[in-house]
Amino acid sequence: MTENENGLIAKDNDRIVCVKVGKVFRESLYEMTRKYWVMKLERAENATHVLAIVDGIVKAVYIPEKWYYSKVRGREHRLEFEGKEDPTSDYIGKSVKGFYGRSSNPITYINM
């Protein structure tokens, strides 16, 4: 297990993408989490979980089923995923601040 000083303990077989989303919800948390990320498709496809992070805390967990490049004009080089929410995940409410450190990148990876 990968442990972070602030709480989240990642299971060994979980491949996690953490995505920082804004505090202001302009659309659903799922929509804010799932689209327009600059990542390598090959890496994203290895993820078993995508965590929605607000203020360093996991607010939602999604199980990605499909990753693809956006078809939105001007965002064709960015990734989106489709998936299902896991509302009973043990990761919800846990801190991931220790995994980000001082990074301003909205994406971080755990066990990847």
pLDDT digits (tens, 9 = 90+) for 74-94: 999 999 999 999 999 999 999
pLDDT average, residue stretch 59-86: 95
Distance separating the N- and C-terminal Cα atoms of the chain: 13
The answer to whether residue 6 scores a pLDDT higher than 70 is: no
pLDDT, residue 1, reads 52
pTM (predicted TM-score) = 0.88
Q: Cα–chain-centroid distance for residue 8? A: 14
Query: Is the separation of the CB atoms in 58 and 20 below 8 Å?
Result: no
CA distance 98 to 108: 11
The answer to whether residue 5 scores a pLDDT higher than 70 is: no
